[in-house]
Every structure is written in structure tokens, then in C-alpha cells.
Amino acid sequence: FFILMFLRSLYDEKLLKYNFGVMKWTWDEDAVNSKIVTENVASVLVNKMNRLQEETQRMLMVASCLGATFRLSAVMMVMKNISQVEMRDSMRASMISVSGTAATMGSSSASLLSSDLSNACTDQDGSDSSYASSIEEFEEEGLCEVDNEECRFMHDQIQSAAFELINPEQRDSFRGRIGSILLRSLSPEELEASLFEVVGLLNCAASNATDEE
């Protein structure tokens, strides 16, 4: 798993290229050797996620709180009901900076990382198609396996890296907020099927409040 992720990161960073002139792969040996020394699974995945669309990062944050396996409808339900301010405050500062991510994503995506980013969630049209691009990116980047409504992280390290997108000081409150949204929005049948997960999320906020007291 690590070898695959590492090779993909080299390719994404253009340190590994296919030279059609000589019909073989070429690489920057010094740069690759440097990354081998400094990189580990977690850092490779976090760096990879830094290059994803902003919307994809936010969806991964939510999904990481739902478990190794999750329902896409639950992720989208949270995305449609959580405020942009809450989402932005819950992200690590490095994840919402324009540098790095914006350069990769282009000027249209850079606007999502600026103060205009507030439109991303609050102005959603409410349709599942709003998130289709991010769901495709889940699969294309080898992060998740999507089977209709069901989705699962391809490795527990990917889920852990997605969770790292969340500001450590906001993790309990963020999970509690997700639990509150699901409690309010799920149908009785859906809530019964996800009762333990929802209660676990709500307990995170309660535990955090108790610790602060």
C-alpha cells in the first residue's frame, strides 16, 4: 500500500515521468532519495490530500468521522446542513491556505480558499450532483471504493490522514456537530440502523464539554 501511494505521489509531483522519447520511466534520483528518507505513510497521504479539491477535502473530513465504511448520503446530508463557518473553523490552517492547493487547482478553485469560500456550502443547489466531482476524485485518487451508496476507505491509514485534515482543537466538537445533524436529519429507520455511530459522535461533544468544565 505504501509503495503504491509513494509512487503516485512522485508522479503527482512530477518527480516520476514517462519519457515517450526513450519509451521508459525516468525520475529525479536525488529528489526521490530525499523523499524516501523523510516521507512516511501519513505524510504522503496528507500531502496528497492537500492537492485535492477543497470540496473533496471537506467531504473526507466528514467521512473520516463516520468510520472505515460510510454511506455517501450521510456525508452529503452533513455537507448540506453544516455552515461554512463551522467547516472552515474545523479545518487545519494549512489546509485552507491558498498556497500549494490553489496552485494545483487553478484560479477557479483558489476562490474557494479565499474569503469567498463561504459560498461553497451555503449556496449549494441541494442536489447530489453538487458532490459528484468529489466522489469521482475519491475513486480516481485511490482513496475510497464506491459501490453505489456504500463507500469505504481503501486503507485505515487513508481514514487517519483524512481525520488529520481536522483542526485537533475542533475534532470533538466537529464530530458532535455531525452527530447532531444526523440525529435531526435521518429518518427513524436510518437512525435505528446507525444508532451506535450517532451516539458515539454525540458523546464526543459531551466528553469535550465535560473535560472543559
Residue 112 vs residue 88, higher pLDDT: 88
Say if CB 35 and CB 71 are below 8 A apart.
no
Name the pLDDT band for 96 (thresholds 50, 70, 90): low
Q: Give the rounded percent of residues in the chain with a pLDDT score beyond 90.
A: 29
The model's pLDDT over 99-130, given as tens digits with 9 standing for 90+, comes to 343 334 343 333 333 333 334 334 444 445 55
> Is residue 7 classed exposed, middle or buried when 0-12, 13-18 and 19+ CB atoms within 10 A define those classes?
middle
- Does the predicted TM-score (pTM) go above 0.85? no
pLDDT of residue 95: 57
Residue 52 falls in which region: left (phi positive, over 0), alpha (psi -120 to 50) or beta? beta
pLDDT above 90 (res 42): no
Say if CB 4 and CB 142 are below 8 A apart.
yes
